[in-house]
Structure 1
Amino acid sequence: MPSKQSQTVKELYRGWTRAMIESREPDIDGWGDLTAEPRGVDYLETDAGGVPAMWAVPKGCAEDRVLLCLHGGGFMSGSMYTHRKLYAHLAKAAGVRALILEYRLAPGHLHPAQVDDATDAYAWLLGQGVGARHIAFAGDSAGGGLAITTMLRARERGLPLPAASMPLSPWVDMEVLGGSYESNRDKDAFFYREVVQALADLFLGTDGDPRDPLANPLHADLTGLPPVYIQAGGDETLVDDAHLLEEHARKAGMEVRLDVFPGQQHSFQMTAGRAPEADEAIRSLAAWVRPRLGL
């Protein structure tokens, strides 16, 4: 059974839906309140190669291992502030530092601004002396897609690839074709097909291509990318994005794991510290990534 905290996610997303229908920018001030404050973590804002970012540094962590974290929000909202606690929970569980990025947002900055910002920050991190095999990507929703496309952009630039990637409820299908938009329509609190299509249009712009591999990795060559661990909620309309990404990765010969959590909403990990399902998901991510970072 879903926890009471899962209802909190539904209430937030219903408010977002109303704002979208009324053509107003969603109010995200309380988004980070979904997540409990993890104890024993210090925060420090920085400039990551021209990209605003925030370090989350758990007490006693391995400082030469880093999670590069990419927030969700449909590419038009969210920030390092709304997501700092989520990724601090993950960093603390894994025993490493997290670098949480604040990439440029649509509609003021269209694709590929977001993947370029994430890749610039990754290149900066490598320049700080952190080895690629000691870095893992993590991202939720739109950031989950970026956790894949940033590796593709890094490969284009000749950068070494990270050790692993962890997309949470990834949004990857810019064509908005998944059957779960219909099968989960009455279960998902926010992500109706029409909403996701509107977000895709804002992200890509009038001349954008929804099949561009750097926007939609389902059309990319994933051969040679590092291991990926995907998580998704069983009640979200985007769950087919997770299944399609897993299938595409397997066909490319990647090591891939997908866990779908029954009864859970999109990006349910945001309730870390308040909901047992989110805490279980965080523990699973940490246990999976630690050996891939050499811990």
Structure 2
Amino acid sequence: MSKEQRAAARAMIAKGELGRTPQVQRDEFNVIFDLPLGDDVTLTPRTLGGVPALDVHVDGADGDAVIFYLHGGGYVIGSARTGANLAAPLARRTGLPAVSLDYRLAPENPFPAAVDDALAAYKDLLGSHDKIVIAGDSAGGGLALATMLAARRDGLPLPAAAVLFSPWTDLTLSGASLDTRGDYDPLFSRGHIQEYADLYLAGHDPKDELASPLLADLTGLPPLLIQVGSAEVLLDDALQLAVRAAEHEVDVSLDVVAGAPHVYPLNVGIMDEADEALDHAARFLGGAVA
């Protein structure tokens, strides 16, 4: 990644002021991340387990397995449409259809609403697909982990693999990078992450494993691919997850790109590493369902 690419990627995002209302943040986020998906992409509304979702179909992506995608946004902002920004290139590269979930958001619907919605949708997918892979970014990465933990608790078959882009896995906010990366992260500070945690938890114990899956026993989870940039306050959430997964005998791969911002694979066409990351993620997911 050249200095010019790094600067261009970082220039696309900037820290917002603390204390803005969720609706203001949602409106801004939806405008910024209304990214072009390509003429080969069709989005079709549907429901899964009673939860709104979007079928993300890319021409030619007709494989038997399905990608279950969970968007980021601190459990407060984002949508199935913003999730399609990564679900679509994954579908294109894997040849698999994808579905992006519109799970309920805080503060109107605090923990565990997002987990309940994701699990209900996952159960519905199990009824129609023998092979499922799961992916998510930021809070959606943590939610993907929580969904697998809830599925394991309920004795359900687990996905074949999971890709986690800059996952938020620790709502106790114990990671040192929340402070050491604060001046380097162009998007977030500890204060921003604390605001989202407070809105989502609404007083619930952050040590609950479905809120902070980093703290859970990860034994038995499927292979994980974690991708993160070094210019992130959530860097330690990814690094510690990789260590903990390995300690629990979970196959885990970790990609760290120096100088890359939060969820850097969104920077397709701007950062070479974004394209490389999605290519790696597609090989990983495709291999899991081959």
Normalising by the residue count of structure 2, what TM-score does the alignment of the two structures yield? Answer: 0.93
Matched-pair contact (CA < 8 Å) for 1:36–1:274: no
Q: Which amino acid aligns with 2:225?
A: Y
Correspondence 1:43-62 to 2 at 5 A = 43-62=43-62
Which position in structure 1 is the counterpart of 2:125? 125
Which position in structure 2 is the counterpart of 1:156? 153
Q: Quick check: 1:238 aligned with 2:264?
A: no
Matched-pair contact (CA < 8 Å) for 2:8–2:270: no
* 1:210 aligned to which of 199, 203, 206: 206
For residues 57 and 3 of structure 1, the distance between their equivalents in structure 2, rounded to whole angstroms, comes to: 35
Which position in structure 2 is the counterpart of 1:31? 32
* 1:188 aligned to which of 174, 185, 188: 185
Q: Partner of 1:17: helix, strand, or coil?
A: coil
For residues 2 and 194 of structure 2, the distance between their equivalents in structure 1, rounded to whole angstroms, comes to: 28
Which position in structure 2 is the counterpart of 1:145? 142
Which position in structure 1 is the counterpart of 2:94? 94
* 1:168 aligned to which of 161, 165, 170: 165
| Alignment: residue pair count | 287
Deviation track 1:209-234 (CA, whole Å, cap 9, x = no partner) reads: 11000110122111111100000011
Which position in structure 2 is the counterpart of 1:105? 105
**Against the structure 1 CA distance between its residues 209 and 94, is the aligned structure 2 distance closer, same or farther, given a 3 Å change threshold?**
same
Matched-pair contact (CA < 8 Å) for 2:73–2:138: yes
For residues 74 and 53 of structure 1, the distance between their equivalents in structure 2, rounded to whole angstroms, comes to: 18
Q: Which amino acid aligns with 2:263?
A: S
CA displacement at 1:277 relative to structure 2: 2.0
Q: Which amino acid aligns with 2:282?
A: A
For residues 80 and 92 of structure 1, the distance between their equivalents in structure 2, rounded to whole angstroms, comes to: 17
For residues 283 and 181 of structure 1, the distance between their equivalents in structure 2, rounded to whole angstroms, comes to: 29
Matched-pair contact (CA < 8 Å) for 2:136–2:164: yes
**Against the structure 1 CA distance between its residues 106 and 280, is the aligned structure 2 distance closer, same or farther, given a 3 Å change threshold?**
same
CA displacement at 1:89 relative to structure 2: 0.6
* 1:284 aligned to which of 275, 280, 284: 280
In structure 1, stretches of 5+ residues that fail to align are none
Matched-pair contact (CA < 8 Å) for 1:70–1:100: yes
**Against the structure 1 CA distance between its residues 22 and 88, is the aligned structure 2 distance closer, same or farther, given a 3 Å change threshold?**
closer
Q: Which amino acid aligns with 2:281?
A: L
Which range moves more in the overlay, 77-86 or 116-125?
Answer: 77-86
For residues 202 and 144 of structure 1, the distance between their equivalents in structure 2, rounded to whole angstroms, comes to: 18
Normalising by the residue count of structure 1, what TM-score does the alignment of the two structures yield? Answer: 0.92
Percent of matched pairs sharing the same residue: 41
Deviation track 1:124-179 (CA, whole Å, cap 9, x = no partner) reads: 01112x01xx2110000000001111001111222111101111000011111111
Q: Quick check: 1:254 aligned with 2:254?
A: no
CA displacement at 1:30 relative to structure 2: 2.1
CA displacement at 1:22 relative to structure 2: 4.7
Which position in structure 2 is the counterpart of 1:220? 216
Which range moves more in the overlay, 84-93 or 56-65?
Answer: 56-65
For residues 41 and 216 of structure 1, the distance between their equivalents in structure 2, rounded to whole angstroms, comes to: 34
For residues 221 and 84 of structure 1, the distance between their equivalents in structure 2, rounded to whole angstroms, comes to: 30
In structure 2, stretches of 5+ residues that fail to align are none
CA displacement at 1:42 relative to structure 2: 2.0
Matched-pair contact (CA < 8 Å) for 1:107–1:203: yes
Q: Which amino acid aligns with 1:160?
A: P
For residues 116 and 232 of structure 1, the distance between their equivalents in structure 2, rounded to whole angstroms, comes to: 26
Q: Quick check: 1:17 aligned with 2:16?
A: yes
Matched-pair contact (CA < 8 Å) for 1:56–1:98: yes
Q: Which amino acid aligns with 2:143?
A: L
For residues 88 and 72 of structure 2, the distance between their equivalents in structure 1, rounded to whole angstroms, comes to: 15
**Against the structure 1 CA distance between its residues 194 and 204, is the aligned structure 2 distance closer, same or farther, given a 3 Å change threshold?**
same
